[in-house]
Amino acid sequence: MTKKNEKENSLMDKIVSLAKRRGFIFPSSEIYGGFASCYDYGPLGVELKNNVKNLWWQEMIRTQNNIVGLDSAILMSPKIWQASGHLTAGFADELVECKECHKRFRKDHLEEESKTNCPDCGGALNEPRKFNLMMKTFVGPVEDEANITYLRAETCQGIYVNFANVLDSTRVKIPFGIAQIGKAFRNEITPGHFTFRTREFEQMEMQFFIKPHEADKWFNCWKEARMKWYLNLGLKKENLRFKEVAKKDLAHYAKRAVDIEYHFPEPMGWREIEGIHNRGDWDLSTHAKHSGKDLSYFDQDSKEKYIPWIIETSAGADRATLVFLVNAYQVVLGGRTTTTESTKEAEVVLKFDKKLAPIKIAVLPLVKNKEKVVKLTQKIFELLKAKYLTHYDEAGSIGRRYRRQDEIGTPYCLTVDFESLENQDVTVRDRDTMKQKRVKIGELVDYFKEKL
Amino acid sequence: MTKKNEKENSLMDKIVSLAKRRGFIFPSSEIYGGFASCYDYGPLGVELKNNVKNLWWQEMIRTQNNIVGLDSAILMSPKIWQASGHLTAGFADELVECKECHKRFRKDHLEEESKTNCPDCGGALNEPRKFNLMMKTFVGPVEDEANITYLRAETCQGIYVNFANVLDSTRVKIPFGIAQIGKAFRNEITPGHFTFRTREFEQMEMQFFIKPHEADKWFNCWKEARMKWYLNLGLKKENLRFKEVAKKDLAHYAKRAVDIEYHFPEPMGWREIEGIHNRGDWDLSTHAKHSGKDLSYFDQDSKEKYIPWIIETSAGADRATLVFLVNAYQVVLGGRTTTTESTKEAEVVLKFDKKLAPIKIAVLPLVKNKEKVVKLTQKIFELLKAKYLTHYDEAGSIGRRYRRQDEIGTPYCLTVDFESLENQDVTVRDRDTMKQKRVKIGELVDYFKEKL
């Protein structure tokens, strides 16, 4: 491992550690020893992730005129997964089993590492077998074949099977989209890299229904729009790129696929954070065939009837949350806080876009033992917390408190001091410019309305 | 069945039918014949449900100073369900099986209807057996006992097992709460009443951690606060009541429980929409014992160490959505629209609280064949849709369009007519007062800011 890798490796570890220490992300079931690469979002994490989801929803539903939302159930008829190909060859990993210790491994991973024997005990390996990624459950009183179903492996199937319902209940016309945020489950053999690949994950998918011959136009439109979304929310341009998926690697239903990749700290490197797919008419045709329901569209203007093609944008809410966390993480060597303590210590700042920051404002009394200062601070806190997620903190030196807020990415710290009592103003410190400004208490609401 | 019942029975059917026709709620997997009493939220339903969830979250996290959020995984260690008692006697229904046709029924339901034989074929019944409500799945490459886990049956367990994580990562002090919204799953034998009882459902739970001797105070405080929440969002007072759960019916962990009940149309009648529970120290003590982790709390002020007691408020996002839909539904006999068509037809209005309404404003050109009117309407639409979920509709007479918006509960319809071109003003119609008012286009943003 090179020196660079070692350093960046520990960077990812530091982010994971901060995430736990400050309540962004906890390992699930931790007091019972953890479970299956699942994670829980803590008090700050749930706000960050909700901000990501709300911003995506706003972009899809509010910014566009022709996208509507949907929230379909996780449990669906198994016939859907039969039709979509998820229960057959299309959605399986090849596994090999060790003849000695019976552990199983992904064939492609062993090949990557040129291993011909069991990586654990060195035993001989069996022939590869397909292993389906769908997670099975039983619905109804009897646990038998007839009652098997699966936790959905992707949210988009819920959109396809509701295509006719949406057409019948709204006034949408092609081109139009259906957007959905929701959990999906895949029994990954090798989950890992923190919340990047987990067995339970949340998708943000939008299916855009179009005239077949307009596929290229809309594909390019959505490809650019999705990249712009990440850039507008502060992802560094040099860490983003498009990757065209090679023809031979396309899923059986895909006409074209482009991934948006982000460069994570090593050893992760470039990884997909979203996919834009031209799925052709595969999904609606397949469900029409299997369900016997006509899923074609009648175009009132051109009097044509056709099966719409689909351009899909498929992002992960957990991946997006992780990428915004990683992208925000910065280490500064001293000088950020006004503390008289050692100013050359490494200080962490999460430079979230303001829209993403979990806590928008911290309200701090300069001292906690002067009743008048504390009372005024609490009055300001009550005023602001109705509008913005606001922290009140009186514990420790003001420098330490600034540092605590920097570490969770709070854009504004507001300090109430002795002068505030006389002049009815406070100090507002900007996380990014580090500038401090006196603002009249009566003008605070308008001040933050403009800033946030 | 009385005449009153017949009428109200069909009322529930009408609501279900409207919910499907206008895109609030669809039966899941419908093109494949439906599935397991699951439902999907359509374009309007997802907005309504999101409004319910956001308002609950705001009430918990923003209005209070001492409640933080959490979003734990659906998949958890099975040890949690072993400890909580969900895998043993506490969470099972007694079922009887017919010896002839092998169908299964809930014992308590057969008893209620005094049935001693199979309700389907009349055959003799077996002795009752316990049937566990947890939904099983397998995590990892091998489908065996060692890899079994369960979809969570309640979100609160994710809160209890993260109690120490939240204490360690935040500055919360008792009394404080942890709030969570998320899916849970129960293999109900008899789901039903539309989305009231489903196998997949979404909970909104808040666990409030307190000093043991303050349980009564906080129980009453939360009981009142939760009732107030429903009243403030427009539920009719006469359809709400508290129901004290009798000592003999309390769950094994509960010291006291009060349900908030709503009177649904017959045949449903009074039904629980939320429970307030004093759970004592049962949850934290049990998980401390089973996990070996100290889950006690050290009180910095009083220097006491104790296991906190818990007051829980447990609501359903689907139930709340249903109750707001049912409560909003009103039928008016004519006179609401300015149409010259038969004015004695029954017209449906969904009188949602404005905060709950999926669409806030409808923007309508009086006529669709005058380019100037249409252009001005679209300009106004673009202006408003950035701030509020807004519909543009130009199809059909203005009366029909008002009626369409009434039927989905849109609080404001804005009509652009010929006068608008000259005077730069529009007509705003209020759903509830039916009053129409001319408002200058330049003042619309401020007008709606005050109203919404």
Q: Tell me, what's the ipTM? A: 0.93
B262 and B303 together in one domain = yes
Q: B175 and B209 in contact (C-beta within 8 Å)?
A: yes
Residues facing A256 on adjacent strands: A278
B66 and B164 together in one domain = yes
Contact: A40, B187; criterion CB under 8 Å:
no
Contact: B69, A43; criterion CB under 8 Å:
yes
A377 and A304 together in one domain = no
Q: What residues make up the domain containing B430? A: 359-451
A118 part of a folded domain: no
Task: Kindly identify which residue of chain A lies nearest to residue B21, measuring between CA atoms.
Answer: A169
Q: Pick the more confident residue, A114 or B391.
A: B391
User: How far is the C-alpha of B172 from the C-alpha of A350, rounded, in Å?
Assistant: 22
A51 and A182 together in one domain = yes
Q: Is the link from the previous residue into B175 a cis peptide, with omega within 30 of 0?
A: yes
CATH number for the domain including A252?
3.30.930.10
> In this structure, are strands B92-97 and B129-132 parallel, antiparallel, or unpaired?
antiparallel
Residues facing B347 on adjacent strands: B332
Q: Looking at residue B342, what is its pLDDT? A: 52
A11 part of a folded domain: yes
A240 and A371 together in one domain = no
Structure tokens at A166: 């949406």
How much is the average pLDDT of B136-143? 83
B37 part of a folded domain: yes
Task: Kindly identify which residue of chain B lies nearest to residue A77, measuring between CA atoms.
Answer: B35
A141 part of a folded domain: no
Type and span of the H or E element at B427: strand B425-430
b/e burial code for range B228-257 (CB count within 10 A of at least 16 → b): ebbeebebeeeebeeeebeeeeeeebbbbb
A200 part of a folded domain: yes
Number of domains in chain A: 2
A208 part of a folded domain: yes
Task: Kindly identify which residue of chain B lies nearest to residue A394, measuring between CA atoms.
Answer: B171
A205 and A247 together in one domain = yes
Task: Kindly identify which residue of chain B lies nearest to residue A387, measuring between CA atoms.
Answer: B62
A83 part of a folded domain: no
pLDDT(B99) > 80: yes
- Chain A: give the shortest CA distance to residue B1, in Å: 31
Task: Kindly identify which residue of chain A lies nearest to residue B41, measuring between CA atoms.
Answer: A71
Contact: B39, A74; criterion CB under 8 Å:
no
A129 part of a folded domain: no
Mutate to test the interface with B, among A20, A22, A29, A408 (most CBs of B within 10 A): A29
- List chain A pLDDT tens, one digit each, 452 residues: 344 444 545 899 999 999 999 999 999 999 999 998 899 999 999 999 999 999 999 999 988 879 999 999 999 999 999 999 898 866 777 888 888 887 788 888 888 888 889 988 999 998 887 778 899 999 987 777 778 999 999 999 999 999 999 999 999 999 999 999 999 999 988 889 999 999 999 999 999 999 999 999 999 999 999 999 999 999 999 999 999 999 988 988 899 999 999 999 988 999 999 999 999 999 999 999 999 999 999 998 889 999 999 999 999 999 999 999 999 999 987 666 544 455 567 899 999 999 999 999 999 999 999 999 999 999 999 999 989 999 999 999 999 999 999 999 999 999 999 999 999 999 999 999 999 999 999 999 999 999 99
A217 and A171 together in one domain = yes
CATH number for the domain including A417?
3.40.50.800
A174 and A301 together in one domain = yes
B259 and B403 together in one domain = no
User: How far is the C-alpha of A352 from the C-alpha of A269, rounded, in Å?
Assistant: 21
B366 and B425 together in one domain = yes
Contact: A200, B151; criterion CB under 8 Å:
no
pTM exceeding the 0.90 threshold for the entire prediction: yes
Q: Which residues of A touch B22 (CB under 8 A)?
A: 169
**What's A37's DSSP letter?**
T
B270 and B370 together in one domain = no
Contact: B161, A29; criterion CB under 8 Å:
yes
B240 and B378 together in one domain = no
The domain boundary, picked from A326, A345, A369, lies at A326
Residues 6+ apart with CB under 8 A from B349: B330, B331, B332, B336, B406, B407, B409, B431
Contact: A140, B70; criterion CB under 8 Å:
no
Q: Which of A30, A104, A164 comes nearest B165 by C-beta?
A: A30
| Residue B295, burial from CB neighbour count under 10 angstroms (0-12, 13-18, 19+) | buried
Backbone angles phi, psi at A131, to 5 degrees: -130, 120
The domain boundary, picked from A282, A311, A326, lies at A326
Contact: B165, A42; criterion CB under 8 Å:
yes
List C-alpha distances in Å: A182 to A73, A159, A168.
9, 11, 23
- The amino acid occupying position B94 is E
